[in-house]
Amino acid sequence: MDLANAYPKPLTDEVVQAADIVITMGCGDACHVLAGRRYLDWPVPDPEGAPIARRARHP
């Protein structure tokens, strides 16, 4: 899967309606939920201010 042009998107009703699965990162019940869509909440801590522990290596 090519993710070169991927970027986080705001959870507007239009974006959610166009998605097959909505993945949120740690917002739990605080995120707006649109009926009829599948949601997955990944428990990811806020990276703001965190040091870069390692960089991904590409072959």
CB 31 within 8 A of CB 11: yes
pTM reported for the whole predicted model: 0.54
What pLDDT, on a 0 to 100 scale, did the predictor assign at position 58?
Answer: 43
Per-residue pLDDT of the chain (59 residues; tens, 9 = 90+): 787 888 877 778 888 888 888 888 777 677 778 888 898 888 877 777 777 664 444 44
| Angstrom distance (rounded) from CA 31 to CA 25 | 10
| Angstrom distance (rounded) from CA 33 to CA 49 | 28
Phi, psi angle pair for 30, to nearest 5°: -75, -20
